[in-house]
Structure 1
C-alpha cells in the first residue's frame, strides 16, 4: 500500500509537526494525527502480527472497530488501538505479538503450519501425555502486548457520579438531534461520544443540514447544548449498561493518564451508536492493504491521507461510492468492483458490475486482486464494504433482543426496552433523520456477499482472533452448531473485538453450513465492556489507603510517646510492641511481664455493636451458633457466628446489658463485616421495628488491664463500682460512672489471666489511660503490644479467626458440638452443619503442636504430610507458632486431619524443603484448668 498526504485533513494542525518511533523507525506526523493515520501516511504497511499464526496485518478500520493495529506505547499503555491513540512527539511505540518487529517477526514461520493448528487444536493436541508439560511455553507465547513492570500505574483515576433526565450515547447527527430536542424541552442532558469532537459521520461524510455543512452544524449544536447546561463529553465511550439504567462511561482525559470513569444514572437513554462496516469475504482478505471503505474516507478527510495509488473498491452496497469518488478526486486511480449487476454508476468512475473479488494477491502486502471472472488487476490497496452492522452492543446489554432485516442484511434492535431508545444507524436507518433531511430512509441497494464453504484460499472471518471460514466449517463438522459453542470453539467474536467486524459473517457461514437462516442461528451474548477500560479507571481513587483507609486509635499520640512501634492489623494502625530494642526481645519481655504482674493494652478496635429491642434475644439466637437468649443480664458468653455454609465467620463475646440490649464484641478486623451480616439478616427475617442495630465501635475506646495483679490496679483507681468477685465474676459486666463519665467494665480475657476491659467514650480515653498509667506505677504495670498478646492467647489455645481458621473450618473442628446437638431453634448455617462434608471423620481439626526434633520453632504454614501410594498429600498445616517466654519452649497451633482423636501422635511437617516432626497435643499449653482467670 502506497499512501500519501494531501493538503487536507480537518483534524490536523499542520503548524505543529511531530515525530515518534515505531519498532525503532522514525515516523513523521502532525498534531491531531492518530498513531494509525501517521503510520499510514508514513508508508508503514505492517502494523502488527496476527494472534495465532503471526501473519502480517495492517490497518482495517479507523476507530474502536480496528482488529489488527494494537500497539504498546512506552510509559504504561500496552495493547492500545493505534486508531484511538493520538500521536505525540517523542513517543516510543512497538508492535505487539512480534519479535523483533512487525515487519520481521521470527515467529512468522507458524503460518506455514496453519493446517496443523486449526481451531481448538489446543484442546486436542496438548492433553497427552500431560498438559502441564506444554503449559509454560504456551503461556509464554500467549497474549499480545507486554506490561512494563518498571512503569508505575497512574495513582489516581477520577470517578464521577451523575444523574440526568436523558443520556445520549453518540454525537452523530441522530444523537445531536436527540440531545438538542431534550435540552430545548428543559431536560437535564448528558451527551457522550468516543470521538475527539461532536459530529460522528458528519466529520467525514458530505451533508448539508439546516443550510450549513454537516460538520459546522454539529459544532453549533454542541455549543448550543453546552450553553443550555448540558454535559457534552467527547473522547468518552459508553462501555456498559447495567441495572436500573446505570451506564458506565470511560473518558480519555490525556495521553498517559488514567481515564475518568463516569457512572451516569439516566431516566432515559438514547443510543445513537452508529454502525460498523463489515469486511467482505474473499481469499487472503487479511493482507495489509485491505481496508474498510469508510476508514479510508476518514483517513482522507480527517487526516489528509490517501490510502493508495491504485485502489480497488469492492462493495455490495451503494455507500462505498462516496469514498471512491473522494479518492479519485484526490488523485488516486480507482476501480470499483460492485457485486451488484444492476448498480447505478456515477460519472467519472471505472466500475465493474456483477463480479466479485475472489482473492487479494501479494505476500506481506496487497499487490493486486483476482476477480471471480478470472481477471487479475494490480492494486496497492483494496477497500472493502460488505455492508454495515448496527452497533447494538449496548442495547443487548440492556437485555434488548434483536430482529433480522433482509433489506440491510443486519440485525437491528427489536422489542423496545423500557427507558432505552435506539436511533439513527444503530437502528438500521443510515440516512439523516427526517427532521434534518426530510428523508427518513435510504435504500442501500445491498446484495448478499456471505462467506461460502469450501473456498480454496483462506477467508478470514475474525481478524483479531485469527478465525477463518475453514475453522467455522470444522466446528460444524464436529457438531458445535450452537452460536455460543461456535464462539468458544473457534474464539470468533471473543476478546476486545466482541464481534464488531466478525459476527454477522460468522453467523452467515454457520447458517449456510447448517441449512438455516441467519436469524435462526441467533447471536452471541454481548458483554461489557464494549471496548477495553484500564484497570486503574475501575479502581479509581480506591487504592491503598483510599480503598481501605487505615483507622487510628484515639490514643495513638500517647502510644507514640511511649515508644510504640506501629503496624497495620485488620485495617487499624496499632502498637505491635513498645521499644526501644530488638523487636523479638521487646515482644518476649512484654509477654513475660504480663504473665508475672500486670499489663495495659489498648483494645479499642474491638467490636462494640449494640443490638437492641424486644426481639434482640431471638435475633441473636439465630445469628450465633450458641444459644444466647438464656444469657442473664450483666453476663457475657463466648460464641461463634457462622456463614450460611456453616463456616466460622467470627468469634467473640456477647454482652447482655439488660433484657433487651446486647453488645456484640466481635473481632477488630471483622466489625464492618459482622455489622453488615447483622443488618442483612435483620432485614431478611425479623421485624425491623423490634430489632435495632447500632455500631458503637468508633464511639467507645476499650482499655484492658490484664495479669495476676490486675485487680490490685483496678482497686487503686478508686472506682465507685463493685469489683469484688461476687459482684463482678469472670464473664460478667458492670456499668457506672468514672469521674462523671459513663463506663462499662467487663471481666473477659484474651490472655488467660484475670482481665478487665474498660469501655469509655473515645474522647475520654486519654484521661482514663493517664489514670491507669499513673496508678500502674505502684504495681510495675507494663505496656502490651499486639504481638505479645498473640503469644499470650496462643499459650491458652485461643483462636484468631482467619489465622487459625480457614474457609472450611466449622465449630466441630474446634470440639464445639453441643450447640448443634442441643439448640432447638434455627440458626445461621445450621443446615450446612448436618451435611456429609461436615460429618467427615477426616476433617482438619484445631490442635496444639509440640516440636519433638529439637530444631526450634515450627514454621507457620508448614504442612503436615502423609504418603499414599508413593505420593505425598497435605493433612493440614501450622496456623500459629511462637516461643513462649513463660513456658520457655516453642508452642504452635494447627489444623490437622483427625487431630482431636490423635493426641500424642507424631506428625511429619514440611516447609520449604525442610522436614520437621511434631507431636499433636491439646491446644491449651498454659494453665489448662483456667485457675489464673480467678486469681
Structure 2
C-alpha cells in the first residue's frame, strides 16, 4: 500500500497513531485526521459508489460539501449511515463501511447499471414503471410489480434497527451577537463585538478556528496563518462574554433571529466520558447574527469529471496543508479563475509536483503566469479538459482547445499523464442560512455567483460569504456597523495579487459521443439529463430539481446547483438570474434525529391517569391510550383473548350490571347570566329551556356545518351548567368555546372553567344498576320518579357527596356517578361492594365500544370532520327556532347531496370478523382497485346479536338497508360478505334505556 502522507505539514499529531477499520481492513492515521484524509494518506482513492449508476467515486471536496465519500459507522449492532468521510474525525476503534455496493466496493455487481444509461435517464421512474397492466400482471399495474425492487435499491446507506445507546442534550442560549464561522472574517467580527461588551457566541463547524487560513500557504506578519487563527481564537475563548463552540454546525435560521445548531461533543472520542452526550442541539436566540460562513468551490462539468482522482482544487490544497496528505504525486489543475493558481502554489510549497495548469481563458494575469513559471508547470490557456482516463483511479486527462466565446472545443485531443486533477469552476458564497432567513438571492455577474439577499432580520454577511474572495482582505461588520458588507484588511500578506472573478464557463460540452459529464455527483445527474428535462418541458428550476433530482441528495446541491442552473439558463437562452434558483431550506447539513430529539425519546407524552387507575391495574386491567389518558381496555381473566374478555363484559352489562370509569370525559363548568344564551348559540338544539336538575344531549357544529362534537350538558342552576365532551375533544371544545366568547360574542357574560380533572366519574349500566344504587346511595331516592331519564340528583355514597345523572351510552338503564377526584377510588370501591350481590362486572373500552356499536351511537370514529348531522341521522337535533354555529351552512347542496356517505350498520354473513377501515364494495371476488362506496368506522363481535357487526358510512345510506355487499381489507387480506342494516341494531325503541 502506497503512503501519500507528506513528511511535514498539517494540523495533525504525527507523534500519535490512531487505528481504525474501513470495510473490515485495518488502517492507521493520526489525531486530527478525518477518515477521508487518513484513507487518502493510506493510498485509498475509491470511497464509494454513485446512487444510480454505481460508478466508482473518490473524494471531490474536503468538507460539508462532499457528495461522494459517504460511509456507515458500525458500533456493535448500531449503524449510522451517510456520514461524510470528510467530516468524520478518526479515533481508536472506529469501524466504518462503504455504502451502496454489493458484494464489495471494488467489485460492485450493480455497476451493470452503467450499461443502461439511456433507460436510467432523468425521470426514468416516472416513464419506465408506469405502464398499464401487461402479460401475467393482470391484477395490478407494472409499477406495483416493480415498486418493491425500486425501493429496495433506493437510498445509499442502510439504517440499522438497533436502539441508539447514546445520549443527546438540548440547550437554549441567548446572546447579543452570534458569529457563524471562525475564519478570518468571523474572528475579527467576533473580536470587535466582544470589545463592546456584547455577549458573543461563535459557532465553528470544524474542530479548530481558522477557516480558509488553515489551508493557506501565506505568511501573515511573519507567522503561520493557522497559528494566527489559533491565537486569535484562544484569546476570544478566554473572554468572559464569549462562548466559543467548535465542531458546531449551524443548520437552520428562523424568524425572530432564532438559529439552530448541532455540536458534536464526543463523536471524535473512542470512549465517551460517563454522562457526556454524543451531540448537543442548540437553539440560539441572537440579537444580531454575523454570517461568516465562507464559500464553496464549484466544479466544472466536463466528460469524465467523476473519475476518482478528480477533485476540487481547494480540496487538494486543504488535504495537503491541513492534514499533510498529497492527493496525487503529479497534480494538474483545470480552472476558469485565479484561485487554482493559489492552490497550485500552496501545493508546491508543500513539496507536491504540479505539472500542468489548464485554463479556459485565453489570457491570464502576469501573477498567474509567474506562478506557473515558478512551479515549472505547463500552462495551457484557451484549453479545456474533455475526458479522463482511469484504472482504479485517474491516470491521465484529455485536453483540447476551447473557445470561451463560442463554448466550442476544437483541435486534436492531447493526453496528459496525471494522477490528480484539481478543478476550480469559481466559488459560491455559502448563503444558505441567509436564504433560509428570507429573501431572494442576488446574482453577482463578476463573481458568477449568487450573493445573500438583503437582510430582513438583524443579520449581516461577511467575508467570502459576502463575495470577497481575494486572499488579502476579509469582511467584518464588527457587530456595530449598519452595512451588510464592509471591508477590513488583514495584516500584510506576501503573495501576488490574484483575481477572484471567474470566467462564465460552467460546462465543457464535447462534440460527438463522449464520457458522461456529471452535474450532481451523488444522484448521478448529468448535463444530458438537464437537456432532456428541458426537452420534456421541465424548464422551471423547481421542476428541474424534482424531475432530475438535481440538488436533492444529502449534500443539497452545494457543488451542483449553480452549474445545473447555468446549463438550464444556457439551453433556454436566458441569464442565470432570470432562470432563478431554488429556495435554500433547513437543514444546512444533515442532522441526526437523536440530536433534534435530545432527551425527548421513548414515550414522553404526558400520561393522564384517572383517580381509579391503580385499582384498575391491581384488578387485572389491560390499558391502552385514549388521547392522553390511560384507560382500561379489558379486565382479562387468565387465558382469555381480548375478544372473549370484552364479550363477557358486554354480556354482563346487558344481562346484569357493569361499571366503567368515565372520569376522562371532558367537563367544562359554564357560569354567568348569559350561560343559557351562550349554549343556545353553541349547540344545534335548545338549552335555555332545559330545567334545573336535568341534562340534555347536545350537538355542536363547525362554522361550515360539519359535526364538531357531541355530549351531554347538565343544568345545575339557573346560571350554571356542566358540559361534558368526548375524551379526545375536551381541549378542542374548550378552545372552541373560548374563541367565540373572546372574539365573536365578547358581550356575553359567561365564564368557562375546565373541570375535567376535578371530577371522578363512574357509570353503572344494566338492568340491575338501579338496585346497586339503592343499596349504597343515601340522601336521595333513585327510583323512576325521583330520578327520571336525564334527571340529576345529589346524595352521598360512603358518606361522600356525589352527583348522579341518569343517562346512558350503553343503551341500558344507566347512571353516571360523579364525586370529587380525590374520592374517586373510594366511591368506585363502594359501588363495586354494593354491586357484588348483583354480580357487578367492571368493563373496559372494548366492551363499552361493543355496547355503543350495537346501539348505533356515534363517537369520534364517525364524527371524523367530514360528516354532517344528517349523515349521522341526527338531523332531529337541528333547531329551526334559532341560529347557532354552523346553521347558516347546513343546507348547502353539497351537505345534502344524496350521494353523501351516511351511517348504517353491517352484519357479517359468513361469521367472520370485520376489520375497522375496511372498504365496502359490491364485488364478490377481492380485487384491486375496487369501487368503494363506503368504509367501516367501528366493528366488534356482538354478544347481544351473536354475530360480528360494524358501523359504516356508505353512499345512499338508509336506501341501502337490506342489501348485501362485501367488506374488504386488502392490507390484511380480509374480504367478507355483509348485510347492510339500520345503525340501530339492538333495542331500537330504547325501552331498555327508559325502563
Aligned ranges for residues 122-161 of structure 1 at < 5 Å?
122-129=125-132, 130-149=142-161, 151-153=162-164, 157-161=168-172
Closer, same or farther: CA 62–821 of 1 in aligned 2, 3 Å: same
Shift of 1:169: 1.6
Alpha-carbon distance in structure 2 between the residues aligned to 1:631 and 1:282:
83
CA contact (8 A) 1:358 1:372 kept: yes
- Equivalent residue, structure 2, for 1:765: 824
State the secondary structure of the residue aligned to 1:432: strand
- Equivalent residue, structure 1, for 2:135: none
Alpha-carbon distance in structure 1 between the residues aligned to 2:72 and 2:175:
37
Shift of 1:64: 0.8
State the secondary structure of the residue aligned to 2:711: strand
Shift of 1:309: 0.4
Shift of 1:899: 3.4
Equivalences, count: 930
Alpha-carbon distance in structure 2 between the residues aligned to 1:109 and 1:916:
47
Shift of 1:421: 1.2
Shift of 1:310: 0.3
CA contact (8 A) 2:302 2:508 kept: no
- Equivalent residue, structure 1, for 2:104: 101
Of 853, 861, 867, the residue aligned with 2:923 is: 867
C-alpha distance after superposition, 1:364-401 (max 9, x if no partner)? 42112233344432100001112211011111111122
Aligned ranges for residues 327-338 of structure 1 at < 5 Å?
327-335=347-355, 336-338=357-359
- Equivalent residue, structure 2, for 1:69: 69
1:342 pairs with 2:369: no
CA contact (8 A) 1:865 1:910 kept: yes
CA contact (8 A) 2:220 2:491 kept: no
Q: Which moved more, 1:240-249 or 1:688-697?
A: 688-697
CA contact (8 A) 1:2 1:309 kept: no
Shift of 1:599: 3.1
Alpha-carbon distance in structure 1 between the residues aligned to 2:976 and 2:443:
69
Closer, same or farther: CA 330–120 of 1 in aligned 2, 3 Å: same
State the secondary structure of the residue aligned to 1:299: helix
- Equivalent residue, structure 1, for 2:122: 119
Unaligned runs of 5+ in 2: 133-141, 269-276, 402-412, 476-486
C-alpha distance after superposition, 1:556-605 (max 9, x if no partner)? 23333434343434332233333543435554443333334433322211
1:370 pairs with 2:428: no
1:402 pairs with 2:424: no
- Equivalent residue, structure 1, for 2:456: 417
Of 712, 719, 741, the residue aligned with 1:653 is: 712
- Equivalent residue, structure 1, for 2:990: 930
State the secondary structure of the residue aligned to 2:728: helix
C-alpha distance after superposition, 1:295-351 (max 9, x if no partner)? 122212222211110001223333333432232233321133344523312363124
Q: Which moved more, 1:306-315 or 1:773-782?
A: 773-782
Alpha-carbon distance in structure 1 between the residues aligned to 2:993 and 2:389:
89
Closer, same or farther: CA 616–493 of 1 in aligned 2, 3 Å: farther
CA contact (8 A) 2:776 2:798 kept: no
Closer, same or farther: CA 62–625 of 1 in aligned 2, 3 Å: farther
CA contact (8 A) 1:342 1:353 kept: no
Alpha-carbon distance in structure 2 between the residues aligned to 1:860 and 1:652:
24
- Equivalent residue, structure 2, for 1:357: 384
Closer, same or farther: CA 903–735 of 1 in aligned 2, 3 Å: same
- Equivalent residue, structure 1, for 2:425: 386
1:699 pairs with 2:747: no
Alpha-carbon distance in structure 2 between the residues aligned to 1:195 and 1:829:
62
Shift of 1:620: 4.6
Closer, same or farther: CA 275–924 of 1 in aligned 2, 3 Å: same
Alpha-carbon distance in structure 1 between the residues aligned to 2:601 and 2:712:
33
State the secondary structure of the residue aligned to 1:104: coil
- Equivalent residue, structure 2, for 1:896: 954
Alpha-carbon distance in structure 1 between the residues aligned to 2:739 and 2:553:
37
- Equivalent residue, structure 1, for 2:407: none
Alpha-carbon distance in structure 1 between the residues aligned to 2:895 and 2:164:
45
- Equivalent residue, structure 1, for 2:280: 260
Shift of 1:861: 4.8
Alpha-carbon distance in structure 1 between the residues aligned to 2:887 and 2:337:
64
C-alpha distance after superposition, 1:668-691 (max 9, x if no partner)? 233334444445555553439855
- Equivalent residue, structure 1, for 2:858: 799
Of 480, 490, 495, the residue aligned with 1:437 is: 490
Alpha-carbon distance in structure 2 between the residues aligned to 1:829 and 1:503:
53
Shift of 1:435: 4.3
Q: Which moved more, 1:459-468 or 1:705-714?
A: 705-714
1:469 pairs with 2:509: no
Alpha-carbon distance in structure 2 between the residues aligned to 1:482 and 1:822:
54
- Equivalent residue, structure 1, for 2:87: 84
CA contact (8 A) 1:633 1:657 kept: yes
Aligned ranges for residues 622-633 of structure 1 at < 5 Å?
623-628=682-687, 630-633=689-692
Closer, same or farther: CA 486–894 of 1 in aligned 2, 3 Å: closer
State the secondary structure of the residue aligned to 2:198: coil
Alpha-carbon distance in structure 2 between the residues aligned to 1:637 and 1:319:
81
- Equivalent residue, structure 2, for 1:532: 590
Q: Which moved more, 1:733-742 or 1:276-285?
A: 733-742
Shift of 1:757: 1.9
Alpha-carbon distance in structure 2 between the residues aligned to 1:906 and 1:770:
47
Shift of 1:288: 0.7
State the secondary structure of the residue aligned to 1:73: strand
- Equivalent residue, structure 2, for 1:228: 240
Shift of 1:428: 0.6
Shift of 1:501: 0.9
C-alpha distance after superposition, 1:169-212 (max 9, x if no partner)? 22222222333333332333332222123332233325667886
1:247 pairs with 2:259: yes
Q: Which moved more, 1:346-355 or 1:381-390?
A: 346-355
Closer, same or farther: CA 917–520 of 1 in aligned 2, 3 Å: closer
Closer, same or farther: CA 614–246 of 1 in aligned 2, 3 Å: farther
CA contact (8 A) 1:579 1:586 kept: yes
Shift of 1:859: 4.9
C-alpha distance after superposition, 1:892-927 (max 9, x if no partner)? 433333332233223334455565333333223333
CA contact (8 A) 1:3 1:307 kept: no
CA contact (8 A) 2:221 2:491 kept: no
State the secondary structure of the residue aligned to 1:595: helix
1:41 pairs with 2:57: no
Of 810, 814, 838, the residue aligned with 1:751 is: 810
CA contact (8 A) 1:622 1:828 kept: no
Closer, same or farther: CA 390–682 of 1 in aligned 2, 3 Å: farther
Unaligned runs of 5+ in 1: none
